[in-house]
Amino acid sequence: MPFTIAIDGPAASGKGTLARALATHFGFAHLDTGLLYRAVGAMGGDPIDAAQRLQPSDLQRSDLRSAEAGQAASRVAAIPEVRAALLEFQRRFAATEPGAVLDGRDIGTVICPDAEVKLYVTASDTIRARRRALELGADEAQMLRELRERDARDAVRDVAPMKPAADAVTLDTSDMSIDDAIAKAVEIVERVRA
């Protein structure tokens, strides 16, 4: 039976870095579910049709890490039909043997509510804005505005709002080095697998 790790949290909290590190450490498959929504948003046209036609190759687009793709992802993720079209894609991935790590905003609450480990990764707004600005070579103040706008939209949407699962372990990475955050996440998973 596959072992599933669900990682949720806002943009630039460190959830993607932790997900990749955990997948490598445990030999699990990894899916950045935000790429699904970024790809749907970047494809243009009718987002419901784009979600229904989405192929794994669409996740290889070079423009999916841009701020524009992130904003587009947040907009299309609020459409219930888009979320429904991508639900099975994600659940099939979560069943990958010997295990899978999925990161996003509703993994522990909607996609994989029975995941063996659920982490909610967060960090302060200013730290996240600084991280994203460095990653994208963008203005930090602009990143802060965009992150706050996106967080507000993702937290109040009617379908699958961004929030920690009731049984998630919250990991605040604001004052942690990458190595310390990874070590803590590995410790949490190993405790459950023991």
Which residues contact residue 63 at a Cβ distance below 8 angstroms, ignoring those fewer than 6 apart? 42, 69
For residues 42 and 160, what is the distance between their CA atoms, to the nearest angstrom? 21
Reference 18, options 133, 183, 160; nearest CA is: 183
- Binding residue positions for ATP: 9-17
| pTM of the predicted protein model | 0.86
Reference 38, options 93, 89, 80, 75; nearest CA is: 75
Mean pLDDT of the chain: 92
pLDDT at 155 over 90: no
- Binding residue positions: 9-17
Local structure of residue 168 (DSSP, 8 states): P
**Span 3-193 CATH architecture:** 3-Layer(aba) Sandwich (3.40)
Report the chain's C-alpha Rg in angstroms.
16
Find the mean pLDDT for residues 60-82: 88
Residues constituting the chain: 194
| Per-residue exposure over 55-92, b if at least 16 CB sit within 10 Å of its own CB, e if not | eeebeeeeebeebebbebbbbbbbbeebbebbeebbee
Find the mean pLDDT for residues 40-56: 92
